[in-house]
Amino acid sequence: MSLLPNHGHIHDYTVIRRARTLSRPGEILKRPGQPVKPLDVVARAIVPQDHHIIDISKRLHVPVDKVHHYILKQPGEPVEPDEPIAARRQVAGLHRLMVRSPIQGEVVEVGSGIIILEGDPAIVEVKASIPGEVAEVLPPWGVIIETTGARLQLAWGHGELTFNQLRILVPPQEGEIDPNVLDDMEHRSTIVFIPAPLTEELLQATVGVNAAGLVGSSMDAGLVPLVEELDLTVGLTEGFGRVHMSIEAANLLRTNNGREITLDPGTSGHWRGSRPEIIISLPQDDAQPSIPEPDELLQVGDSVHLLRGPYRGAVGKVSALPERPRRVPSGLRLKGAEVALEDNVTTFVPFANLEHLG
Amino acid sequence: MAIEAKAGSILAIDVGTVNTRAVLLDTVGGVHRFIARGEAPTTSGAPWDDIGEGLRAAIRDIIHTTGRPLLDNLENPIIPERPDRSGVDSIVASASTGRPVRAMLVGLVPGVSLESGRRAAEDTYVLIEDVISLADGRTREQQVDAILALDPDLIIIVGGTEGGATQAMSEQILTVAMACLLMVKGNKPRILFAGNTAVQEEVTAQLEEGVGIEVIYAQNVRPSLEREQLDDVRTHLAELAQGFRVSSSSGFEELSRWSETGVVPTAKAYGRLVEFMGKRADWDVLGIDVGSTSTIVAASLGGTFLQRVCSELGIGHGARGVLQDIEAEQLTRWLTVALEDERDAINYAWNKWLYPHTVPQTPDDLELELALARETMRAALRQARPTWPVSLEEESLPRLGEIVAGGAVLGRAPHPGYSALAILDALQPVGVVKLWLDSYGVATALGSVAELAARAAVEVIESGGLLNLGTAVCTAGSARRGQVVLKATLTPEGEAAGESIPVRAGSLVSLPLAPGQPAQLTLQPRARGTGLSRQDRKLDVIGGVLGVIVDARGRPLPIPDDAEERRDVMREWRSAFLESQPS
C-alpha cells in the first residue's frame, strides 16, 4: 500500500458534496435541507466601494475640533447627489458655505474633520451551480450542497462555471472533426463534448455558435491565450499536447449526452486551488450511489489513471505493487506499480505518475 | 539552553508544496552524519487536508530504510532517543506550503523600502497582492477602495529612513487607517509596521487607538538609503505566516510542538545554510534551490548575505512563471534529441504545472525536465542579480568559491553528470568553483540544524551530506572552437605528476580523481581572456564524484544556431560527464 500524490475521480453514480463559499464573510440565503437549483444564489457578500473622503475642515475653513458643529449628516444616513452634508454661515449669516455630496450613497464615517461617503456597494454572490439540497450551512461563508450523480475530474479548465446541456460530437473513424458540423441551432448555449484534442478551429467554431462550453481531451498550450480571450468555458480531461481521452471518461460523458451538466473550470493556485470537474446530477433511483472514500493508500485492484509516459491518458488496474524501486527508461530508480491496461498490456509506472481514481 | 551540547540524533522535516522530506542525522564515531532520508507527498490538500499524513509517511520511509523505530504506537515521534536507539533527540522543521498570507504593502516610493518590504515578504511566503505607494497614480479614495476590495490578511507598512521626513508617511498611515475603519468589525487585517520609527507614535494613535487594531512593530527595513535590515521584519513575518498556517491547516500545530525551533520558512532555513557556508570560508558562495513553486537564490558575497525567493518560478506549480519570458526554442536548445513538434516542449512545462508531482519516465522527458530546470535557474538569477552589491555584466556571475544547487529535479537526476551540466549551463560561472549538489535534499535540514547545532551541520556537510560534484575550472572568453585554451596537469597527493592534458575551446572535460582525494591541479593558459587569475594556476583540489571538471566552453556558452549542429554539441557536452562513471 502506498500514499499517492495525485487523486482523480471518474464516477458513474456517486454522492457529491460541494462547498459553495464566499471569499469574505457575508449572508447565507439558504437553510439546511432546502432544495436548490444551479442558478440559485446561496450566499451574498457586500464589498464596500466608491468612497469619497471630504475634508470638511478645509472646505469650511474651520478647525478640526469645531467641524462637528457644521455637520448635517451622521454615519448611516443616506445622501443624494448635491445634497448638503455640511454648512457654515458666514458674516452675520448673510453668506453660507456649503459642502454637498458628490454621489448617491451613505455617510459611513465622520471624524477628524472629514466625512467619508460610500457609494453603492458591489455585491458578490455565490450560486449553487449544481441541483441538489443544502446539506450544511457554513456561516458566514456559504453552504455545502449535496447531490447524487456522475462526476468526472478534469485536468485543466478555464472560464466561468456553467450549467447547460451536454452535446456530444463524435469524430469520424478517420480524421478529425470538421468544425463546420457545429450548428447554431443545435449547439447554442450547450456544453459541447469532443472526445479528441481541441484545435483553434474547433474553439473558434464553438464560440461562433454561441455554445456555453467545450470539453475535449487535450490541446496545444499555445492556445491558452486564445482561450483566455474567448467567452467560453473550456475543459480538458488529460492536459496539454495531443493526448487522447481515456475510454472511461469518454464513456461517462457519452452515456450522459443530452443531460444538463455543470462544467466547473476550477480555480488555480497551489494552496487549495480546486480541480476542474464535470458534475451531472442524476435522479435517485434504486441503484445505491457509491460513497467516495478518502482512501489514500493504493492497493492491488485499484483503478489508476496514467499521467505520463507512453500510455499517458490510459486508465488501468493495479496488478502488483513491487516492494523495491525499479529503473525506468529515463534512468531514474523509482517506486511504482504494475498496471494492467487493455489488450493484456502490463506496464510499470512510478507512483508519482499515477492518479488514484476513487 | 546549551542546545549545541545536547545535539545528538536530529530529525529534520521540511514540508514543501509538493513533497514532505524527513532527514535523519546522527552521530557515528562522535561525528554527525547523514543517515537516511524519507519522502512522501505533502498532504495539505484534498483528500487529506492534514500535513500529518505526509509527515508520518516520510518518517515511515526512514523507518523502512533504517529499521529504526522513530514513531510510537500513536504515531507520534519518540523524543528523546532511547537507549535502544529508537527515537531522536530533537526535531527541527521548516515549511514552504500552507495557506499563504495575503498582504498589501504600503510605503512611499517604489525601489527603496517597498523593494525591501517585498523581499522580506517573499522570503517568508507572504503574498503581496497589491502595493500602495505615493507613485501608484491612485487617489486616496481609490487606494482605500483597493484595500477594502482586497480584504487582506495583513498590511505591511514600510517607508521613510531614520531621521527622514515624516509627512508623507503620515499620509500613508492615514489611508490605511481610513480603510481599516470601514472594514467589518472582527474582519480587520493585522498590521506590521517596519518604517521610520519617528512615526510609530502616529501609527499607535491612528491604528491602535483610532481603529482598535493591534500593530506589530519591527525594525525599519531601510534605516538609511544604503542600509537594508530585513532580519527583524522577516522574523515577525515568519511568526505571522506560521500563525496563519496553524489556524488554517491541520498538522502544523502538531509539527510546531514537535520542533525545537517551531516551523521556520523553508527559504529562511535554506538561506541560513548558504550564509553559514559563506562564514566558514573566505570566498563567495551561491546557493540555488529549484522548488516546485519557487526558486531560492541565496548568496554570501563579500561577507554580505543576500537572498531572493523567486515565487512563481519553479519546476512545477511555478512553471508558468518560467514560461512567461521564454519561447519553445529556449527549452529545445538544451536537448540532444529532436522533438516531433517543438511546441511539445511548452506542452511539457504546462503539464508539469498541472501535475507537479510527476517525474520523467522516458529519456526525452528527462531532457525536457532538465531544460526547464536550466531556464528556471536562469530566470531566478535574472531576478536576483540586480539586488547584489556588485556590478556585473549581463548574465554573468561574480567569482564564486562554491555553488550549492538543489531541488528534486537536480538532486534526483539518474547520474550526477546531468545535474552538473545543468548547473554549469544555467549559471555559467567563471573561475574556479567547487560544485555541491544537494542530492539527498538535506540543505534545508542543514540550515535548520545550523541554528540548533552549527558543529553538526559542518560535520554532515563534510561527511557527504552534500554531494561534492567536483571543483570546476571555468574559462571565460570566446576562443575559436578547437583551439587549446589551457593545459591541465593533475597530481594526486603522494603520486607522480599526471599527464599534461590540452583542453580545447568549446569542450568540457572531467579529469578523473577519486572523491575526497586531494591533488594539485596545475593550469597553463594557452589563450587570452580565459578569465583565470595567476592564483588559479596552481590549485589544491579535492576530488568529487565527477573528479575535477574543466569547462572550457567559454562565456556566454557558444550554442550553435543550426539545430543539428546544436544537438551534436549538446551530445558531446553530455557525454563528457555521463561517460565517466561517478566514482
- The answer on pLDDT for B316 being more than 60 is yes
Which three three-digit cell numbers place residue B378? 536562469
Which pLDDT does position B530 carry in this prediction? 84
pLDDT (mean) for B394-413: 90
Instruction: State whether B40 and A239 contact (CB < 8 Å).
Output: no
Which pLDDT does position B417 carry in this prediction? 96
Does B17 touch chain A if contact means CB atoms closer than 8 Å? yes
Closest CB to A332 among B317, B356, B412: B412
Which three three-digit cell numbers place residue B471? 571543483
CATH topology of domain A297-357: SH3 type barrels. (2.30.30)
User: Which chain B residues have a beta carbon less than 8 Å from that of A348?
Assistant: none
Which three three-digit cell numbers place residue B239? 511568526
Q: Is the Cα dihedral A194, A200, A201, A206 positive or negative?
A: positive
The per-residue pLDDT for range B345-401, each reduced to its tens digit, is 999 999 999 999 999 999 999 999 999 999 999 999 998 988 887 776 766 789 999
d(CA B506, CA B509): 10
Instruction: State whether B187 and A24 contact (CB < 8 Å).
Output: yes
pLDDT band at B5 (very low <50, low <70, confident <90, very high): very low
CA B419, B425, B426, B428: dihedral to nearest 10 degrees?
120
Instruction: State whether B43 and A296 contact (CB < 8 Å).
Output: yes
> What is the percent of chain B where pLDDT is above 90?
66
| Burial of residue B29 (number of CB atoms within 10 Å: 0-12, 13-18, 19+) | exposed
Closest CB to B362 among A25, A222, A329: A329
Owner of C-alpha cell 537594508: B228
Instruction: Give the range among A241-250, B13-22, B90-99 with minimum mean pLDDT.
Output: B90-99
- Work out the number of other CB atoms within 10 angstroms of the CB of residue A74: 11
Domains of chain A by residue range: 51-118, 155-274, 297-357
Q: Which amino acid is at B184?
A: V
Q: Using only C-alpha atoms, what is the Rg of chain A?
A: 29
pLDDT (mean) for B508-524: 95
User: Which chain B residues have a beta carbon less than 8 Å from that of A6?
Assistant: 355, 357-358
Which pLDDT does position B18 carry in this prediction? 85
Q: How far is CA B87 from the centre of its chain?
A: 30
Closest CB to A309 among B141, B354, B362: B362
Alpha-carbon distances, residue A307 vs B38, B130, B340, B426, B441 (angstroms): 24, 36, 20, 28, 25
From B86, B15, B497, select the one nearest B263 (Cα to Cα).
Answer: B15
CATH topology of domain A155-274: Glucose Oxidase; domain 1 (3.50.30)
Non-local (6+) Cβ contacts of B437 within 8 A are B404, B405, B406, B410, B411, B416, B419, B420, B423, B466, B467, B469
User: Which chain B residues have a beta carbon less than 8 Å from that of A328?
Assistant: 361-362
Chains A and B form CB pairs within 8 A to the count of: 149
Non-local (6+) Cβ contacts of A349 within 8 A are A304, A306, A308, A309, A311, A336, A337, A339, B361
User: Which chain A residues have a beta carbon less than 8 Å from that of B365?
Assistant: 308-309, 330
Q: Decide: B502 and B487 in contact? Cβ < 8 Å.
A: yes
Which pLDDT does position B321 carry in this prediction? 92
Q: Which amino acid is at A135?
A: A
What is the CATH code for B3-97+250-256?
Answer: 3.30.420.40
Which pLDDT does position A227 carry in this prediction? 97
More confident residue, B373 or B478: B373
Closest CB to B350 among A49, A221, A270: A221
pLDDT (mean) for B545-557: 95
Class of domain A51-118: mainly beta
- The answer on pLDDT for B525 being more than 80 is yes
Closest CB to B293 among A155, A270, A307: A270
The per-residue pLDDT for range A325-343, each reduced to its tens digit, is 999 999 999 999 999 998 8
pTM: 0.89
Which pLDDT does position B325 carry in this prediction? 85
From A263, A70, A252, A72, select the one nearest A163 (Cα to Cα).
Answer: A263
- The answer on pLDDT for B274 being more than 70 is yes
Question: ipTM of this predicted complex?
Answer: 0.89
| Chain B residue at shortest CA distance from A311 | B361
User: Which chain B residues have a beta carbon less than 8 Å from that of A235?
Assistant: none
| Chain A residue at shortest CA distance from B370 | A330
Which three three-digit cell numbers place residue B261? 525551533
Domains of chain B by residue range: 3-97+250-256, 101-246, 266-578
Instruction: State whether B98 and A271 contact (CB < 8 Å).
Output: yes
304-333 in chain B: CB under 8 A from chain A: 317
Q: How far is CA B485 from the centre of its chain?
A: 34
From B6, B97, B101, B56, select the one nearest B449 (Cα to Cα).
Answer: B6
Which pLDDT does position B582 carry in this prediction? 53
d(CA B125, CA B274): 19
Q: Decide: B314 and B379 in contact? Cβ < 8 Å.
A: no
Instruction: State whether B357 and A330 contact (CB < 8 Å).
Output: no
Low-confidence ranges of chain A (pLDDT < 70): 1-6, 91-93, 268-273, 286-287, 291-296
B443-452 and B266-280 helices cross at what angle (nearest 10)? Answer: 70
Q: How many angstroms separate the first and last alpha carbons of chain B?
A: 42
| Chain A residue at shortest CA distance from B292 | A270
CATH (one of 3.40.50.10800, 2.160.20.10, 3.40.50.150, 3.40.50.280) for B101-246: 3.40.50.280
